[in-house]
Amino acid sequence: MIYFDNAATTWPKPPEVLEQIARSFTDYGANPGRGAYKMAMDTSRLIYKTRETIASFFGVADCRNIVFTRNTTESVNMAIKGIINPGDHILYSSLEHNAIWRPVKALEKIGVTSDSFTVNQQGKVDFADLEAKIKPNTKLIACLHGSNVLGAVLDIAAIGAVAKKHHLYFLVDAAQTAGALPIYPEKIGIDLLAFPGHKGLYGPMGIGGLYVRDGILLNPLQEGGTGSNSLEAAQPDMMPDRLESGTVNTPGIAGLAAGIQFLNAISLEEVLRHEQMLTKYLYEELSYIPNVTIYGPDVCDHRLPVVSFNIMGKDSNEVGWTLGNDYDICVRAGYHCAPLAHKTMGTLEQGAVRISFGVYNQPWEVEKCIAAIKKIAQ
Ligand SMILES: Cc1ncc(COP(=O)(O)O)c(C=O)c1O
């Protein structure tokens, strides 16, 4: 089997991730932050160390500003619903995934309004449009860092500067870029950074995180036991307890720590170099096949290892199914939970076939895939 659906979740996971997950049941099996006996303390230390590992990975000074969640979607919801009130206005980009679009739209029920600002297929932000859409009641700019459909990367430092100039909160969805590109929220004015543990950071599914800038007090999505201030009815203000009620996902956290250590050992630069080599190879070969349309930025340094394409006259789901069924090549077809991106690229009817690479992919796999696409396109 050839696995080219790493933008959905990376596979396979490194052996050290699997080992750490197994150890979370044997050596770290107690509820962390609750008991004072050895295994509970060991588990608490594992959770704390993982928080530190994540903070250092993103250049965050205080690891208490890293909150564990289930996935990017939960982090985005926690961020948006934690600061937005009736009457507020939100700006989001024209490439958003439903992770941002749907919670923003759901808030219309409580009197929140929103607008999208234009970003083209290459990932170029129309800054005049962005500035023109800022209103007196705009509170938040929420956007993805990299498109899961186009592979385009947005200039989040420049968007952050606009947010800062207008005293707006800035939320970044790093679902596709955490582990693919360096991101330092405290250097470039990101207030809230939502990231998955299960994609580019090579942890298991069911774990993600949210960075919250010092001084931001989010209203929690849920209240409950935190193992702290237990006599008080009110949810504690202190981080990360404020946003982490209930038992955390220790196997997920243990696996995520190992995933980040695995990445650090290889280095982000090397991961980027390897995945860009595969992306360039695929992109160039696809561009020679008649009837194939490729979307997104041209091959360049600043592109994610995600390539979407269509074959003229063929439904993307049919192509995806044929690749899986006849060639044992796993890709994703359809809309990738990103109708706004498909609207921007003009594929609302056909969807697109998406190939996305991870560290374990090899050139021979790309070669096989190109041969298969050539046959299907004939
Ligand atoms: C840009 C983007 N945002 C959000 C998500 C949702 O991520 P998660 O599954 O971790 O909630 C994805 C998933 O593919 C994505 O690509």
- Residue 168, classed as helix, strand or coil, is coil
> C-alpha distances in angstroms, 272 versus 17, 58, 225, 322?
20, 16, 41, 29
Q: Which amino acid, one-letter code, is at 265?
A: A
Q: Is the distance from the beta carbon of residue 340 to the nearest atom of ligand 1 less than 6 Å?
A: no
> Stretch 336-354: mean pLDDT, rounded?
95
Question: In the chain, pLDDT over 70 holds for what percent of residues?
Answer: 99
- Residue 113, classed as helix, strand or coil, is strand
DSSP string, 338-354: -HHHHHHHT-TTT-EEE
> C-alpha distances in angstroms, 358 versus 8, 10, 366?
11, 6, 12
User: Residue 323 pLDDT > 90, yes or no?
Assistant: yes
**How deeply is 118 buried, as exposed, middle or buried, from its count of CB atoms within 10 A (0-12, 13-18, 19+)?**
middle
CA distance 365 to 171: 36
| Choice from 337, 340, 344, 356 to test ligand 1 binding pocket (greatest atom count within 8 A of CB) | 337
196 in Cβ contact with 175 (< 8 Å): yes
Question: What number does the ligand 1 atom closest to the CA of 99 have?
Answer: 4
Tokens 């007090």 correspond to 217
- What per-residue confidence (pLDDT) applies to 35? 84
193 in Cβ contact with 210 (< 8 Å): yes
Q: Is the distance from the beta carbon of residue 9 to the nearest atom of ligand 1 less than 6 Å?
A: no
Token pair belonging to 164:
């800062």
Domains and CATH numbers, the chain: 15-265 (3.40.640.10), 267-377 (3.90.1150.10)
80 in Cβ contact with 102 (< 8 Å): no
User: Residue 300 pLDDT > 70, yes or no?
Assistant: no
Token pair belonging to 373:
């696409």
Token pair belonging to 308:
């979407």
CA distance 260 to 262: 5
> C-alpha distances in angstroms, 167 versus 139, 203, 267, 297?
8, 35, 35, 31
Peptide bond into 12 cis (omega under 30): yes
Work out the pLDDT band at 166, boundaries 50, 70, 90.
very high
Q: Is the distance from the beta carbon of residue 208 to the nearest atom of ligand 1 less than 6 Å?
A: yes
> Stretch 19-26: mean pLDDT, rounded?
98
User: Residue 301 pLDDT > 70, yes or no?
Assistant: no
CA distance 154 to 203: 25
Count of alpha carbons within 13 angstroms of residue 351, beta-carbon side: 16
CA distance 76 to 171: 8
pTM score, two decimals? Answer: 0.97
User: Residue 347 pLDDT > 80, yes or no?
Assistant: yes
Element (H, E) at 142: strand 138-144
Q: Which amino acid, one-letter code, is at 314?
A: K
Q: What is the pLDDT of residues 230-287, one digit of tens each?
A: 999 999 999 999 999 999 999 999 999 999 999 999 999 999 999 999 999 999 999 9
Question: What mean pLDDT is reported for the chain?
Answer: 97
User: Residue 299 pLDDT > 80, yes or no?
Assistant: no
Peptide bond into 182 cis (omega under 30): no
CA distance 22 to 328: 29
Q: What is the pLDDT of residues 189-240, one digit of tens each?
A: 999 999 999 999 999 999 999 999 999 999 999 999 998 999 999 999 999 9
Work out the pLDDT band at 302, boundaries 50, 70, 90.
confident
Token pair belonging to 247:
């038992």
Look at ligand 1, atom 15, and give the residue with the nearest C-alpha: 175
Q: What is the pLDDT of residues 118-157, one digit of tens each?
A: 999 999 999 999 999 999 999 999 999 999 999 999 999 9
> Stretch 156-175: mean pLDDT, rounded?
98
Q: What is the pLDDT of residues 51-98, one digit of tens each?
A: 999 999 999 999 999 999 999 999 999 999 999 999 999 999 999 999
Q: Is the distance from the beta carbon of residue 144 to the nearest atom of ligand 1 less than 6 Å?
A: yes
Count of alpha carbons within 13 angstroms of residue 330, beta-carbon side: 15
> C-alpha distances in angstroms, 253 versus 50, 122, 138, 159, 279?
7, 35, 35, 31, 30
Q: Is the distance from the beta carbon of residue 72 to the nearest atom of ligand 1 less than 6 Å?
A: yes
Question: In the chain, pLDDT over 90 holds for what percent of residues?
Answer: 97
183-201: buried (b, 16+ CB within 10 Å) or exposed (e) per residue? bebbebbbbbbbbbbbbbb
CA-derived radius of gyration, the chain: 21
